[in-house]
Amino acid sequence: MKFPGSIHSKLPKVGTTIFTVMSGLARQTGAVNLSQGFPDFSIPDRLVELTHSYMKKGFNQYSPMQGALPLREALAQKVEKLYTAKYNPDTEITITAGATQAIYTAISAFVSEGDEVVIFEPAYDCYVPAIEVHGGIPVYVQMNLAGELIDWEKVKKLISQRTRMIIINTPHNPSGRVMSAGDMLKLQKLTEGTDIIIMSDEVYEHIIFDGMEHQSVARYPRLAERAIVVSSFGKTYHNTGWKIGHVLAPEELMKEFRKVHQFNVFSVNTPAQFALADFLEDKDHYLELGAFYQEKRDTFNRLIGESRFKIRPSEGTYFQLLDYSDISDEKDTDYAIRLTKEVGVASIPVSVFYHEKNEDRFLRFCFAKEDETMEKAAEKLLKQ
């Protein structure tokens, strides 16, 4: 069947995401899938039991648009203890259908035709399409993945009267780098006296390594007052398929966010929200998550230590960048496909996180896997 008219695409350059493509190729070829960022191990048994219990109790209808109150209250307590930040659970916290929905909704609520949005590359792939579909203009700043992460003087020169939003992401996907307290203070100084909104993608907030501390914008009151903070239960509790996230924002911003949210998804899985509210009482899980994934990172890096890949530092997230420049001079997209088909390990080429051609020879590998999975992948990678 063919549509009889003409279509004006709002996203003419956008195709199927690289994550769908590489995971599909991994399934077709039987390759070890270290591409898409999801764990291959079980979620906590108690979280499953709690969800089932709430389903049995009849918590199966719509939750409030803002999210189940017990979960919002639990989050308010958690954020205050972690970041000494106070958010009103009634007016300043909203539960979302995952972080991607939260990001899209925030951009929908605040970015209009001609507004400029500063993003840092390599940038997670959901930012730019959401900006462009609303008529916004992405303004790109390239990060330094090998040294001081962001040149804030360069950012300052790109700020204009049309700058509506700055999007930051820490810990950063795909690089695994982490923004410092100094970065936050420079961002704070840069935005003072402006109407700029900060959207802070902090979905990996608990996955940070080597004694480093997550610098949430919520720690900085003069940043928090202009910020939308996005996080994800999926990354914290290994349940990415549940698609539940949350947003923190001052009341004036949250009011606008909710105007869009109510027509975007309206509400989120009810029994899972009540289960998460109870499970948040177990602080050890998220407080020990960094150590858990640091061990995974170290295991993966030890397993491939004798390979010809060069390991780039991973300070957070559950991703590891590997430099393959000693192995091949192919484009990373071509090499990633060949590595999947011929070697049997699927990864993500990092060039897809840039808006222009990038000559770096990096692939992103996910180490949120059982040791057996990583051993199987390493055995193949060592042959390169």
pLDDT, tens digit, for every residue of 214-269?
999 999 999 999 999 999 999 999 999 999 999 999 999 999 999 999 999 999 99
CATH label of the domain that carries residue 240: 3.40.640.10
Contacts of 295 (CB under 8 A, 6+ apart): none
For the ranges 15-19, 41-45, 143-147, the one whose mean pLDDT is highest: 41-45
My answer on whether 174 and 234 are in the same domain is yes
Of 263, 282, 301, which residue is a domain's last? 282
Q: Is the pLDDT of residue 43 over 90?
A: yes
Tell me if 98 is assigned to some domain.
Answer: yes
Residues 322, 174 contacting (CB under 8 angstroms):
no
Q: Is the pLDDT of residue 357 over 90?
A: no
Tell me if 13 is assigned to some domain.
Answer: no
My answer on whether 224 and 298 are in the same domain is no
77-104 mean pLDDT: 98
The angle formed by the CA atoms of residues 280, 205 and 193, to the nearest 5 degrees, is: 115
My answer on whether 349 and 236 are in the same domain is no
* Cβ-based burial of 367 (10 A; exposed 0-12, middle 13-18, buried ≥19): buried
Q: At what angle do helices 270-279 and 69-83 cross, to 10 degrees?
A: 40
pLDDT the model gives residue 6? 85
Residues 108, 260 contacting (CB under 8 angstroms):
yes
Tell me if 147 is assigned to some domain.
Answer: yes
pLDDT the model gives residue 7? 85
Q: Is the pLDDT of residue 20 over 90?
A: no
pTM attached to this predicted model: 0.96
Phi, psi of 192 (to 5 degrees): -60, 140
My answer on whether 235 and 376 are in the same domain is no
Q: Is the pLDDT of residue 15 over 90?
A: no
Tell me if 53 is assigned to some domain.
Answer: no
pLDDT, tens digit, for every residue of 182-211?
999 999 999 999 999 999 999 999 999 999
Residues 312, 301 contacting (CB under 8 angstroms):
no
Tell me if 62 is assigned to some domain.
Answer: yes
30-35 mean pLDDT: 93
Q: Specify the residue for token string 């970015």.
A: 111
Share of the chain above pLDDT 70, in %: 100
For the chain, what is the domain count? 2
Give the Cβ contact number of residue 166 at 10 Å.
Answer: 26
pLDDT the model gives residue 13? 82
CATH label of the domain that carries residue 311: 3.90.1150.10
My answer on whether 248 and 352 are in the same domain is no
Domain that holds residue 206: 58-282
Q: Is the pLDDT of residue 44 over 90?
A: yes
pLDDT the model gives residue 248? 98
Q: Is the pLDDT of residue 84 over 90?
A: yes
pLDDT, tens digit, for every residue of 50-77?
999 999 999 999 999 999 999 999 999 9
My answer on whether 178 and 296 are in the same domain is no
134-152 mean pLDDT: 94
pLDDT the model gives residue 60? 98
6-18 mean pLDDT: 83
Whether omega before 250 lies within 30 degrees of 0, making that bond cis, reads no
My answer on whether 127 and 193 are in the same domain is yes
My answer on whether 214 and 235 are in the same domain is yes
Q: Is the pLDDT of residue 145 over 90?
A: no
My answer on whether 74 and 197 are in the same domain is yes
How does the average pLDDT of the chain come out, rounded?
95
Of 282, 301, 331, which residue is a domain's last? 282
Tell me if 10 is assigned to some domain.
Answer: no
Written in H, E and C, the secondary structure of the chain is CCCCCCCCCCCCCCCCCHHHHHHHHHHHHCCEECCCCCCCCCCCHHHHHHHHHHHHCCCCCCCCCCCCHHHHHHHHHHHHHHHCCCCCCCCCEEEECCHHHHHHHHHHHHCCCCCEEEEEECCCCCHHHHHHHCCCEEEEEECCCCCCCCCHHHHHHHCCCCEEEEEEECCCCCCCCCCCHHHHHHHHHHHCCCCCEEEEECCCCCCECCCCCCCCHHHCHHHHCCEEEEEEHHHHHCCHHHCCEEEECCHHHHHHHHHHHHHHCCCCCHHHHHHHHHHCCCHHHHHCHHHHHHHHHHHHHHHCCCCCCEECCCCECCEEEEECCCCCCCCHHHHHHHHHHHHCEECEEHHHHCCCCCCCCEEEEECCCCHHHHHHHHHHHCCC
pLDDT the model gives residue 9? 87
pLDDT the model gives residue 384? 87
pLDDT the model gives residue 50? 98
My answer on whether 329 and 222 are in the same domain is no
Banded pLDDT at 45 (limits 50, 70, 90): very high
pLDDT the model gives residue 330? 94
Banded pLDDT at 18 (limits 50, 70, 90): confident
My answer on whether 316 and 267 are in the same domain is no
Tell me if 31 is assigned to some domain.
Answer: yes
Tell me if 363 is assigned to some domain.
Answer: yes
Q: Is the pLDDT of residue 358 over 90?
A: no
Contacts of 183 (CB under 8 A, 6+ apart): 149, 150, 152, 170, 215
Distance CA 242, CA 294 (A): 24
Contacts of 271 (CB under 8 A, 6+ apart): 51, 52, 54, 55, 59, 60
The angle formed by the CA atoms of residues 356, 360 and 362, to the nearest 5 degrees, is: 115
Distance CA 248, CA 103 (A): 12
My answer on whether 120 and 155 are in the same domain is yes
Of 282, 299, 323, which residue is a domain's last? 282
Banded pLDDT at 25 (limits 50, 70, 90): confident
